[in-house]
A and B are shown apart, each in its own frame.
Chain A
Amino acid sequence: MSQEDVLVGFAAIINEVAGVPIDDVQLDKAFVDDLDVDSLSMVEVVMAAEDKWGVKISDDDAKNMRTVGDAVAFINANS
């Protein structure tokens, strides 16, 4: 799976959960500071990502995902 594919899928999830425009979801963007995706939205994003890619994302893993790039890299490495 390419990084680009994961990013596209991930952007769709963030758009669905938090209403962030798809084009704004870029690798260097921080969830809280840039995209306004707060900790409760992150819970939903993580659950949707687990479903979509069959990965297990622990609470600690989730806490370490500050940017979209962190999440995409984690999914790529673990799915």
Chain B
Amino acid sequence: MSESVTLSSPTGAQYSQILSVGSYRPSNIVTNAEICTRIDSSDEWIRERSGITERRHASDSDTVVTMATAAANMAIARAGIDPSDIDMVLLATISHPYPTPSAAVEVSELIGARGAAAMDISAACAGFCYGVALANDMIRGGSAKYVVVVGVEKLTDIVNHTDRGTAFIFADGAGAAVIGPSDQPRIAPVVWGGDGSQLQAINMTASSVAFRDDPSLGYPTVTMAGQQVFRWAVTEMAKATKDALEAAGITAEQLDVFIPHQANNRITDALVRALALPESVVVARDIVTTGNTSAASIPLAMDRMLETGEAKSGDTALLIGFGAGLVYAAQVVKLP
């Protein structure tokens, strides 16, 4: 009997696209000189090793939720859709201080999208690209028409400001995109994966439970084996970028823009070399004045490039996010 019961299965839009981006940069600019009052370092060392000259630190009134809301509101206004048309809010972060409820559902309320499905994504610096991939599949699968994808971090809450290996790198901000249906392929297949044998490469000094039971451990902060991450990024991420180009059916010569996660300019340099990118490809260097904002770095860089005219609407861009896990995701998209 049950065999004769047929369930309906929706089909969605044939393709999807990024309709708009938006961003939020905290107003507080922190120079290398200021960082060097807390760690034994120098402006020159930080510039050489990372490319960073300054970064933004959130103020007390900037939270993961307020920053995400600001970026999402900008993206929604630019997309020209009504917030009530949003079916899903995907919010990528590792620095929301509440395990529950999610930041995404709070943001959905604040942007006027009550009723939308909402969830947070924990994929560290790969989070935005994970969100774009999920949104693409949801829209094409018929479970959503418009998806807001936010990458947001207040990393200054979980960084040890006296740790030489991380204090100068990590920073705060938010970027968002509205993703909706398209009449042409404008988001190519994602190439993604993870390597759980490298859990220790970037992790926390303790769990919150361990800290509760033994406060002498100190409040949990991010620790990073910088060279291990660097080694993985310049080898495995070089492969992933090549695979993403192949999955999109294009060559490096056909790219206009390369927006890797703004982890470290030295990683970007190595990826550009490994891909043998032609000179004509514009490479995101937002890290110089923004620092490494993990899940927010790619949409922040994208928004900056569109704003300054370095990149333009319709350009073909390769995105790759990678970080703690270790996990990564890469895809080629058409810029909004």
Contact = CB atoms under 8 A, between A and B. Distances in A.
Interface of A: 16-17, 38-40, 43-44, 47, 59
B326 to A, nearest CB: 16
Nearest to A39: B227
Given A16-B273, A43-B227, A59-B227, A38 B234 contact: no
Contacts of A17: 273
Chain B CB count within 10 A is highest, among A17, A38, A44, for A44
B270 interface: yes
A43 B227 CA distance: 7
A43 B234 contact: yes
B48 A47 contact: no
Contacts of B227: 39-40, 43, 59
Nearest to A51: B235
A40 B266 contact: yes
A39 B165 CA distance: 13
A38 B49 contact: yes
Interface of B: 48-49, 227, 230-231, 234-235, 266, 270, 273
Contacts of B48: 38
Contacts of A16: 273
A11 B86 CA distance: 56
B230 A43 contact: yes
19 contacts: A16-B273, A17-B273, A38-B48, A38-B49, A39-B227, A40-B49, A40-B227, A40-B230, A40-B266, A43-B227, A43-B230, A43-B231, A43-B234, A44-B234, A44-B270, A47-B231, A47-B234, A47-B235, A59-B227
Nearest to B50: A40
Nearest to B228: A59
Nearest to A36: B48
